[in-house]
Amino acid sequence: MPGSVPSVDAGKNTPDLFESENAALRKARATYLAPEATVQDCRQSLGELIGQFERMMRQTRRLIGHSDRAEREMHALNTQLQALVQRLEHCATHDALTGVYNRSAVIDMTNKALAADSAIMIVLDIDHFKHINDEFGHPAGDSVIQGIIGCLRREIGEAGFLGRVGGEEFTVLLPRCQIDDAIRLAETIRAAVAGHVFGAPINRSVTASFGLSANPRGTSFDAAYSVADTALYAAKRAGRNRVEVILPGQTVVAN
């Protein structure tokens, strides 16, 4: 008696996805177990099994090909999704016109920085910006904002982070910075802005006023900004295009 062959249980209550293959396998098993099976019977069963196997191989190769393409497409879609998420995250934290941090990001980053260490906050405002918009139009005003941001980026470098908190108002946070160094940097920025000549239709320089606050560790954004903003308006009252600083426990000091 020939040895037994493992049976294939396709399941009684589920569709048989391999009906033709199982039929060929059952026929081959019956032939294998039949004592009276002839060589011709065996060859026929073997031929049918070979045919079914070859068909399954072709189908498997096609499925593998489809799977590979689907995997590549999924990878491409995932890459696009990650890029979209990064763009959305950037849009959520950056100002569309200038590319610097927006107000909400400035608040968050300032609170985190001041929770860890002291920092100097600089608040600056473009002088007579409304006159620029009224005289030359908002596109010209936008070009002024972008030009001043360029000056700020060049002078600040990696010393701190820059944000736009209002139409023509910006902040610079300088973590672990000494007040004298911050005043020198603010004066350097002020001079760079005042020395920048804008092209047509403005064809002249534009100035900005600066207010500084020195903030110990644990200061909130609101407190740091309020003091720097008070110093800024002192600079405006004193004639604009200047730097003012309010030290902890002190009144406005002119520079």
Q: Which residues participate in catalysis according to the annotation?
A: 168
Joined together, the tokens standing for residue 137 give: 């139009």
Could you tell me if 246 and 224 are in contact, meaning their C-beta atoms sit under 8 angstroms apart? no
What stretches of the chain show up as alpha helix (H) in DSSP? Answer: 19-33, 39-93, 103-116, 129-136, 138-156, 179-194, 221-237
Q: How far apart are CA 181 and CA 171, in angstroms?
A: 16
* Enclosing H/E stretch for 161: strand 161-164
Joined together, the tokens standing for residue 67 give: 């799977």
Count of Cβ atoms closer than 10 Å to residue 7 Cβ: 9
Residues 6+ apart with CB under 8 A from 31: 37, 41, 42, 44, 45
